[in-house]
Amino acid sequence: MSAAEGQQHPISIYLWIWGLLFVLSACSYLVDYLQFEGYLRWSLILIFMFLKAGFIIAIFMHMLWERMALITVILLPPILILFLIWFMVDEGTYTFLTREIMFSAPDFVPETPSHH
């Protein structure tokens, strides 16, 4: 086997993943069609989005068959960014709730600006 040939994967893998992506896309559209609301809607949309992206990266971009070092170099930065986004959302929620408690206190009286 020459170096130019490379590794061949059965076409059935690609067809199965293509079909699975079609089903996941149909489920994603079904979320809108059934008019889910609130956190359930966005959770389902994000779950389907991440599943589709994961299958595309793993199979069509051939990450499933790459070395662990390459996988780590490519996937670790987005995972860290998602962690930092979650951290900022958590901090923002804490700040919002703290302000809500402070400004809705019954003894809180805002000062009016004085006009000289």
Contacts 24+ apart (CB under 8 A), 79-88: none
Quick check: 43 and 16 in contact, CB under 8 A?
A: no
Burial (CB count <10 Å: 0-12, 13-18, 19+), residue 58: middle
Whole-model pTM: value is: 0.59
> Rounded to 10 degrees, what is the CA torsion of 32, 36, 42, 43?
-120
Spell out the domain ranges in the chain: 9-65, 66-104
Residue 1 confidence (pLDDT): 44
pLDDT tens digit sequence for 66-111: 888 877 888 889 899 999 999 998 888 888 888 888 777 677 676 7
